Structure 1
Amino acid sequence: MIEILTPAQIDQARVSGALVGDILHTLKGRAKVGTNLLEIDAWAKQMILDAGAESCYVDYAPSFGRGPFGHYICTAVNDAVLHGRPRDYRLADGDLLTLDLAVKTGGVAADAAISFTVGTKAQPGDAELIAATEEALAAGIAAAGPNARIGDISHAIGEVLSGAGYPINMEFGGHGIGTTMHQDPHVSNDGRPGRGYRLRPGLMLAIEPWVMADTDVLVTDEDGWTLRSSTGSRTAHTEHTVAITEDGVEILTLPTR
């Protein structure tokens, strides 16, 4: 299903997006050496509930997972990149942490992710890996707008990621979003310009470049959710929810502070 939202729903998406951005901003500030991933999940739960919002993850049970996700945020560390299920692990100095969060307010969802180094001992290449996903996201957003096509976004992302020397996995990517978290159209992290669905005002997309340093092959943890690089290499993932407008594109998941 491809959903075109009403102006009132886009207004509500701004509320959801601001909440997602603010929670991620707060959690990044709290994530220190020694912080347990389960603490981060508990903090996310509390902020979601305090805002009167609804988690998109806790009861999420898609075909590719193993039962309901059961947590309020994805926490992926080092070689984990997607669907990182919170576990009893304390962050170490130099860990590369990805936080991925989706919530609903007023029946409309927003989804975003950030990657950053914990502490002061970043490994060589981490900053470049994170920067590549951030630059690819900016390029993908710049390629979006009314009458652009999904392939334009995918091509822009792929040019940045491949230009930086990273392999690109095509199994998981961005997606439509609205009254449910995951919708069509799929937004691959590489593609051909001028192809695919033509963007229309009212369409919302979660655009999410992610990479693994030296492979495009994923493996799944025993938890049935957490996806890791097959080689144990470092990973990064950056995401925003955007709305296509009459005049261009609006980022909805920026923090308000």
Structure 2
Amino acid sequence: MHSMVNHMLNLSLEDREQHNRTLCKNINNMDFVVHNSACIGYTGESGKLIIYPDTDIKSDITPSGLSMFVLQGSIQQSYALDNPILSEGKEFSDKIKRLTANIEVFCLVEKNQLKKFHEKVSDKTKNQTSVIFTNISDILKPVLVKPQVYANQETAFNIEDQILKIAKLNNVEFRKCTPAGPEEAASRLYLNDNIEKEEQSSNDELALLTTAWHPETPTSQNDNVPQSALLESTVDDSASSTSKSSCCFKTCNR
């Protein structure tokens, strides 16, 4: 493995967090073309963001409330070379030389934007139509940017670690996919005509998204954590616990 990847092994957690924050702010200027998309998380009745990290990109789950999506696509290799995190991608191994680098962008979409996201992104990518990120940047908030495939698996965090330690999300719950079937899906909203009429806490959600870029700012918490606490700077210890799931998807290696 070339020296660049060896150097990346020495990146501290703080460095990775800073580089990720920079990527999230600058992705709109990196000619990012989205080829695939999938919902991997939704807000449950408890107010927690429930994430299925093993969801296959071809078989996403039903979004509701503040939801998490993963976008897979490509940028010019020159952009990736400028960032230590993206330089860890497969395209930078000694045997692979390409003009583009494949990346994944994990983003949050507020519930009042789900219908637009479905029309502008989900419908198109499922029909194998690519989407220019700059055309959709106003309906989502990037929280994590990473190589789609790492050149050296030693450098790769698992998704739970990246979401908690790099993206600094809290009040989240991770669940594993099982063959049982999505029992909860029928009781949750799915991109229908009433989506904009749902009771919302837009101010809380906007505050939530703003907090993401100031992880050094402490935020108070209590037992009844509102949906807006999802992006507070302090990671919720309970978020790392894995619960039983009722969702059926193939495993997607990240």
Question: Is the shorter-chain TM-score for this pair beyond 0.5, marking a shared fold?
Answer: no
**Larger % of strand: which?**
1
**Larger % of helix: which?**
2
For normalisation by structure 2, the TM-score amounts to: 0.30
